[in-house]
Amino acid sequence: MLALDFMQRALVAALLVGAVAPLVGVFLVQRRLALIGDGMGHVALAGVAVGVLTGSSPVWAALIAALVAAVVVELIRTSGHSQGDIALAIIFYGGIAASVVIISASPKGTPGTLTAYLFGAITTVTQSDLWIFGALTALILVTFALLRWRLFAVASDEEYARSAGLPVLPLNLALAALTAVTVVVSMRIVGLLLISALMIVPNAAAQVLGRSFRSALFWAVGIGVLSAVGGVGISYAANTPSGGTIVLLAIGCYLTAAVGSALVGRARRSAHLEAEKHGHEHGPGCGHEAIPHDDHVDYVHDGHRHAPHLGHYDEHDPDHVQAAGEGDSGGRR
Amino acid sequence: MSTGPGAVIELADAAFGYGERPVVSEVNLSIAPGEVVAVLGPNGSGKSTLVKGILGLADQFAGQVRLFGVPRAEFREHPRLGYVPQRHTLSGTVRATVTEVVATGRLSRQRWFGRFSAADATHVERALTLVGLADRARVDVADLSGGQQRRVLIARALAGEPEVLVMDEPTAGVDAANQHVLAEVLARLVAQGLTILVVTHELAAFADLVTRVIVVDNGHIQFDGPATEFNDRRQDVLHDHDSHHHDHELTAPARQVVPRSVDVPRPGSRRG
């Protein structure tokens, strides 16, 4: 299947989308805007319809529509107007309604055209699409590399970011524009109805697996690439729409991660002993001997070792002691 | 209050609020370097709005605000002013380690194309050490207790190397052990010569550190003077009986009765 031109193009497009969508999506997850990409997909579809009707490139038309929607949506959100939510709904549904009507009116429009744009199709990536996607992906990666900690800061505490003099509105607009560009890069392979899923679901799985913002991002990109490339492959073999296949794979990853971590968590909890109630906060200079230990510091308290855990202290995990090859003088007995 | 050229924060007839309505007005205030100022007052009195106005987070309706001698609108040296917002929890929707959150405090000192340098990392470490969380640097902030999360917020502000630290209710909802730690952290900052403006309900926690007290009530400054003078006139200026209706935190004497630090092993607390 790799010998087929269209498959090569589809796999390259999948690689780009799988890597980029979770990078942008993590900030949407952080800001509780998981569904905003969905709305932008709706508006981009209206751009596609105009492209189909006029015979111009649907990708460029979609990009313009999505970017305009991104800016308008962000400004409406920032205004905090009481009717803002309804305004967003009107924009999003207006987009999808217009696109359906315009496509049906265009001579080249068929239900098949619409389905391919909504749910993704591997045969539709053209060589010129690929160049555009490549350039847009490079743009997203550079912007992400430059702005990621500022976007993180604004998304985690907007008020603090403002007090620190960060340009909050421009950063939020930049994120909206990144979302719009990602939507367009994904439109061929994932489809405009499902693109939001590839921004959000790999991050949902990564939040289960990662231990920091940074490591969760690596997981998210890995899962994104795996789902997108794997989804395209399965889509070819099983003759299914690529977008749906990709998203189902990503959801499979999430469920595996969630169930796996729940099982591991249960196993850990049964081997977990909380130290006695503790009116004292261990820390440097607290008077108790501190023993650095892997990623945390234990404190020797009244002859036994306390390890910090979730705002309380655990009696030292006996497995750790064995692993460290120390006598179990203070561990659990 | 002396109004001198050296004032770090200077307000003249200032009024702050949100939307259409000023919440505090006719504020005249000058804070000199090295002062430790507590802003007291019942809930809804406007004390939080006052500090947010100083930081540019609330709308300004009247008067002048000068920071380090520069009018607020022209002020660009944001890192000199560190802000610790009132948050009951830091846990967000995504994972973030203590170090990652505190590192955002360096952003205001970084250029757009600058990378996170070794010097930045040193300041983050130093800030974490100051608040006593160096041992939790790589922990997810969501896994910390409320009091520890407050200290993460303080460390974030400290990472930017501020000269003035503005704190909004750092002790609200924090248990006794952690309040004690917070007070120790503050004492360390005072010893380093930081100017501190702290909005609080629980003056008791910081009583030894505060040099000056400002009482805000009903959108106006009702008292502004040295801490010693405030202690003498406390009953006249701070209407505790009034604030019972607004604020349950003030009415929680139990918090002061609980021993601050329990180091002694309690019999029967563990097997062995």
Report how far residue B256's alpha carbon sits from residue A143's, in angstroms, rounded to the nearest whole number.
51
Residue of A nearest to B258 (CA): A279
Alpha helix locations (H) across chain B? 47-55, 98-103, 118-130, 146-159, 176-191, 203-206, 227-237, 240-243, 254-257
Chain A residues close to B104, C-beta within 8 Å: 149, 152-153, 156-157, 160-161, 164
Instruction: Tally the domains of chain B.
Output: 1
Residue A212: left if φ>0, alpha if ψ -120 to 50, beta else—which one? beta
CB of A314 closer than 8 Å to CB of A298:
no
Q: Is residue B270 part of a domain?
A: no
- Within-domain flag for B92: yes
**Any domain includes B267:** no
Q: Is position B265 within any domain?
A: no
Residue A228: the pLDDT is: 96
Both tokens of A159, joined, read: 């008020």
Tell me, yes or no, whether B264 lies in a domain.
no
Put simply, whether B67 touches A (Cβ < 8 Å) is no
Report yes or no on B269 lying in a domain: no
Residue B58, domain CATH: 3.40.50.300
- Which pLDDT does position B264 carry in this prediction? 37
Nearest to A150 by CA among B81, B164, B111: B111
Q: Record the tokens describing residue A199, joined without a space.
A: 């921004």
B42: containing domain: 9-257
B70 at the A interface (CB within 8 A)? Answer: no
Structure tokens at B62: 């009247």
Domains and CATH numbers, chain A: 5-195 (1.10.3470.10)
Nearest to A201 by CA among A10, A83, A25, A50: A25
For residue A87, what are the CA distances in angstroms to A96, A196, B164?
15, 20, 42
Nearest to B227 by CA among B200, B251, B246, B250: B200
User: CA-to-CA distance for A27 and A165, rounded, in angstroms?
Assistant: 20
Which residues of chain A fall short of a pLDDT of 50?
A: 320-333
**What sign results for the dihedral spanned by CA atoms B18, B20, B23, B24?**
positive
pLDDT tens for A35-61 read: 888 999 999 999 999 988 888 888 999
B176:A203 CB<8 A: no
> A304 and B270 in contact (C-beta within 8 Å)?
yes
Rounded to a whole number of angstroms, the distance from the CA of B261 to the nearest CA of chain A is 5
The predicted structure's pLDDT at residue B171: 83
Report pLDDT for A281. Answer: 66
Task: Among A152, A210, A282, select the one facing B104 at the smallest CB separation.
Answer: A152
Mean pLDDT by 10 residues, chain B (272 residues): 71 92 92 94 89 93 93 91 84 88 92 84 94 92 88 94 93 81 88 92 83 92 89 74 41 37 39 36
Q: What are φ and ψ of residue B190, in 5° steps?
A: -60, -40
Start-to-end C-alpha separation, chain A: 60
Residue A298 in tokens: 């234990």
CB contact under 8 A, A279 and B177: yes
Name residue A184's amino acid: V
Distance from CA of A286 to the nearest CA of B (A): 9
**Closest to B61 measured CA to CA, from B125, B94, B107, B13:** B13
Contact A13, A133 (CB under 8 A): yes
CB contacts, 8 Å: A160 with chain B: 83, 85, 104, 153, 156
